[in-house]
Structure 1
Amino acid sequence: MSAAGIVDDYLGMLLAAPAAAAPPAPPIAPVAKPEPVTAPPPRRAPLPAPPPAVTPPAELRHPVAPATPRAIPAPNAAPGAKISIAPLPRVPGEVSDATQTSPQQRRSADRLARWLRLRCGPQAYAIELLKIREVVLPAPLLSLRGAAPCVLGVMNLRGQVVPVVDLGLQLGAAPVKETLLTRIIVLDDNGDVLGLRVSAVEDVVLIGDAQIEGTHTSRLAPVGDHRIRGIARLGGMVTLLLDSAKLMAIPLFSSD
C-alpha cells in the first residue's frame, strides 16, 4: 500500500471515532454578597432635669432699699469739688416731675416734693431739689466791676462761668462766713445758672403741700418777700421755703 493510502486510512479512522468529551469545567461557587453593615445610631446624652422653682420668702419679694445717709466731703477736698447727694427712697404719692402726673392727679393727692435743707447763719431754709444742679465746695472767685452788693463774683465750674451770690446778703441778713461747712449751691433753670453761697447744707427732706403754710397766713414769714414760697415746721424748726425762680431773677449788677 502506498503512503498516500495509509494517510487516507488514518484520517478516516480519526473522523469515524467519536470525539472525546472534554472534561467538565469545575462548577463556580456563587460568591455570597456581604450583608450591609449598619452603624448603630449615636447615643445622645440625656438632658439635665430643669432645676426646681424656688419661691422667695414673702419678705424678699418686694424689697425696699433703705435710705442712704448723706455723704459729707472731707474738709481738705479740692475747691469746686462736686458733692453727691444720695437720693431718698421713692415714696408713694411723690411728684418728682410735673410731666409724670396729670394736674387732676396732683390736685387729688397730697403732693410730695424733695427739698434741700440749708442754713444761712442760724436761719434754716430749703430749696426744691428739682432746680438744683449740684452742690460744690467754695472755689476761687473773680470779682465783677459794677456788680450788686450780694454778688461775690464768678467761678469757673468745669469750663462754665457761674455767678455766685451771698444768700445771706441777698435775703437781707448777715453775710455768710466762710467755714469748713460753707457750700455753694448751683441752681439751673433752662440753662441759666446761679451759685448760692450758704453756711451749710443739711440734708434732703420730703415736704407735702399739707405741711406748707402760706406766707400770708403765717406770722413767721417775712412780710412782702416774694422769694419765700412758704413755711414748713420740720422737727420743731421753722424752715423758710425759697422760690428758686425768684432767686435767679435778681439783677446781678447795680443800677447806679
Structure 2
Amino acid sequence: MNMINDATHVARHEAARAAAAAGGEFLTFRLGTEEYGIDILKVQEIRSYEQPTRIANAPSFIKGVVNLRGVIVPIVDLRIKLNCDTVEYNSFTVVIVLNVKGRVVGAVVDSVSDVLELNGGAIKPAPEMHTAVDTSFITGIGSVNDRMLILMDIEGLMTSADMGLINSAAAH
C-alpha cells in the first residue's frame, strides 16, 4: 500500500471507530463463543446458508458465489477468515447479506442473535494489542447487561486488500 492509501485506510478506520463510539443500532451475531455487532445500516438481509458455487483458486474463506435475485454475490465465511476454532454448517448457520460500498457481499456466521441499540456510554474503545492479532477491524467493545459485544467495522473488513472483493481503487 502506498502512503496515500495508508492515510485513507487510517482515516476510514478512525471514522468507523468514532461512529461506533457514538452508538446506534447493531446486528449481533455469533462466531464460535464470541458475540459480534455490526452497523445495522450495512445489512441488506439475512438468509439461511445454502451451498455456494465454488470458485477455483479462491482463498479458503471465500466459499464461492450465489445468485441472489440475479446478482452474483460472493460468500465469505467470517469464521474461517477470523480463525475460529470450529466451523460447522448446521440449521443455525446463516448468511448476512451486506451492502458494502455499493457491492453486495454475503458473510457466513454461526447464528444471528438480535438487533441492539447501544448508546455511546455502553461502548468502550477497543484495546490496543501489539501482537499478531489483527484488531484493526474492531471498533469498540459494547456491554449490554452481562453481554460483551465485539463491534466490528464490517465495511473495512470486507473492503480490505486481502479480501480481494472490491478493487482498492474503487474502495476510496
Q: What's the TM-score once normalised by structure 1's chain length?
A: 0.51
Displacement of 1:171 in angstroms is 1.2
Report the Cα distance in structure 2 between the residues aligned to 1:195 and 1:230, rounded to whole angstroms: 23
Residue number in structure 2 paired with 1:62: none
Q: Do structure 1's residue 200 and structure 2's residue 122 form an aligned pair?
A: no
1:149-160 correspondence runs (5 A): 149-160=60-71
1:181-220 correspondence runs (5 A): 181-216=92-127
Residues matched between the structures, number: 143
Q: Which amino acid in structure 2 is aligned with residue 242 of structure 1?
A: M
**Rg larger in 1 or in 2?**
1
Residue number in structure 2 paired with 1:227: 137
Q: Deviations over 1:103-126 (max 9, x none)?
A: xxx9xxx94410001001111111
Q: Which protein has greater RCO, CA pairs closer than 8 Å, 6+ apart? A: 2
Report the Cα distance in structure 1 between the residues aligned to 2:32 and 2:145, rounded to whole angstroms: 18
Could you tell me which runs of 5 or more consecutive residues in structure 2 were left unpaired when the two chains were aligned. 1-17, 165-172
Confirm or deny: 8 A CA contact 2:23 2:123 kept in the other structure: no
Q: Which amino acid in structure 2 is aligned with residue 117 of structure 1?
A: T
Q: Do structure 1's residue 246 and structure 2's residue 156 form an aligned pair?
A: yes
Could you tell me which runs of 5 or more consecutive residues in structure 1 were left unpaired when the two chains were aligned. 1-105
Q: Do structure 1's residue 173 and structure 2's residue 81 form an aligned pair?
A: no
SS where residue 150 of structure 2 aligns? strand
Cα distance change of structure 1 residues 142 and 223 upon mapping to structure 2, 3 Å threshold = closer
Displacement of 1:176 in angstroms is 3.0
Higher strand share: 2
Confirm or deny: 8 A CA contact 1:215 1:223 kept in the other structure: no
Residue number in structure 2 paired with 1:73: none
Displacement of 1:227 in angstroms is 1.2
Higher helix share: 2
Confirm or deny: 8 A CA contact 1:116 1:126 kept in the other structure: yes
CA RMSD of aligned residues (A): 2.4
Q: Deviations over 1:57-82 (max 9, x none)?
A: xxxxxxxxxxxxxxxxxxxxxxxxxx
Q: Which amino acid in structure 1 is aligned with residue 56 of structure 2?
A: R
